[in-house]
Structure 1
Amino acid sequence: MRIAFLTAPEGVEQIELTDPWRAAVAAGHEPVLVSTRPGAIQAFHHLDKAEKFPVQEVVGETSAESFGGLVLPGGVANPDYLRTNRKAVAFVRDFFDRGLPVAAICHAAWTLVEADVVRGRVLTSWPSLRTDIRNAGGTWVDEQVRICDHGPNRLVTSRRPDDLKAFCETFLDVFARTSKETV
């Protein structure tokens, strides 16, 4: 399965990109780095610059139709930028409209809030997003990982880098089950 990993040109928390990416590859999936412009994205270790990664596809030139699922890594700057980019927000919303599975960790829920897809859903995130999620009509819970089956697609959310092992195992299981159900 092709899995889109959507990031801003800079500000993604590197471990929240690389751990799920490696897990997807190990499970036999094809992760694809999607961003809002071509070139490379700049990852961070919290506030310090880390590695750069090549963008493979650009929002506005690709669509959810060519993927089996979406992963939204966190970091504070990453979703803060994405939620202000109308093409990125539309790209995220398209996965929900098509009933495709989505996984988001840490601050990535901000992008979900902006895409107006949390209403009626139960999700977790970095704790500071609790009020944003509630104001957008969602229910926030403090759990390591949460699966929400509200609507036609499944949403997997997680709180922080410490939860990455559970996040990766859960989203890969959910994406695999969803893929089998649609065959």
Structure 2
Amino acid sequence: MATSLSGVSIAILATDGFEQSELVKPKSALEEAGATVHVVSPESGEIKGWDQDDWGDSVAVDKTLADADASAYDALVLPGGQINPDKLRIDGDALAFVKAFAAAGTPIAAVCHAPWLLAETGLAEGRRLTSYKSIRTDLKNAGADVVDESVVVDDAGPFTLITSRNPDDLPAFNDAIIEAVGAAKAA
């Protein structure tokens, strides 16, 4: 039987330049599993995706960071792309939002370049994870045990950390999020 995420709320933190598939596909998979998913961003209105090598579609923002409360969510998803996490890792409110999920013991999932946020917040230290190949040295320098696998679920710390390398890994990434959030809900 597929895991049901009925009654679960998940935040996706993103800004302009998120990799299109890395926001849209997890959002769709989580909603299909029954979760309520909110796109949270520093901006209100819409944010514009990056679709491989050019600007992609816009996505509606459900809540601004100023209005979002991390304690209202059962998990956090961080889509990558190069632009999106690079902008978010210099935004103090975005970093505080990510840290709040870790402090609450809530699962965090990050794909592609999004683990930059884990490095910036100190959450990568001592954790086993993967990422897009160009940021692996940054993560190692942040104290992470970096591996090259399609999806890594590190549940040895105070919160479950799920990471993947790139859009090709999204099916495994989405399944791991659904499984981890379902297990946390059942606990």
TM range (shorter): over 0.9
Deviation string, structure 1 residues 80-137 (Cα, Å, up to 9, x no partner): 0000100000000100000000111000000111111011100000011111111111
User: What is the rounded CA distance, in whole Å, between the counterparts of 2:106 and 2:184 in structure 1?
Assistant: 8
- Seq. identity, %: 41
Matched residues, number:
180
Q: Which runs of 4+ in 1 moved over 3 A?
A: none
Deviation for aligned residue 1:51: 0.8
SS of structure 1 residue aligned to 2:114: helix
SS of structure 1 residue aligned to 2:183: helix
Which residue number corresponds to residue 30 of structure 2?
Answer: 24
1:66 corresponds, among 58, 72, 79, to 72
Deviation string, structure 1 residues 63-92 (Cα, Å, up to 9, x no partner): 210100000001000000000100000000
User: What is the rounded CA distance, in whole Å, between the counterparts of 2:156 and 2:119 in structure 1?
Assistant: 15
CA contact (8 A) 1:4 1:32 kept: yes
Name stretches of at least 5 consecutive residues in structure 2 with no aligned partner.
Answer: 1-7
Which residue number corresponds to residue 162 of structure 2?
Answer: 156
User: What is the rounded CA distance, in whole Å, between the counterparts of 2:168 and 2:60 in structure 1?
Assistant: 26
Which residue number corresponds to residue 104 of structure 1?
Answer: 110
User: What is the rounded CA distance, in whole Å, between the counterparts of 1:87 and 1:150 in structure 2?
Assistant: 27
Query: What is the 5 A alignment of 1:31-180?
Result: 31-180=37-186
Deviation for aligned residue 1:61: 2.0
Which residue number corresponds to residue 5 of structure 1?
Answer: 12
Deviation for aligned residue 1:153: 1.0
SS of structure 2 residue aligned to 1:53: strand
SS of structure 2 residue aligned to 1:116: coil
Name stretches of at least 5 consecutive residues in structure 1 with no aligned partner.
Answer: none
State TM-score, norm by structure 2: 0.94
SS of structure 2 residue aligned to 1:107: coil
CA contact (8 A) 1:120 1:150 kept: no
SS of structure 2 residue aligned to 1:99: coil
State TM-score, norm by structure 1: 0.96
Q: What's the C-alpha RMSD, in Å, of the aligned pairs?
A: 0.8
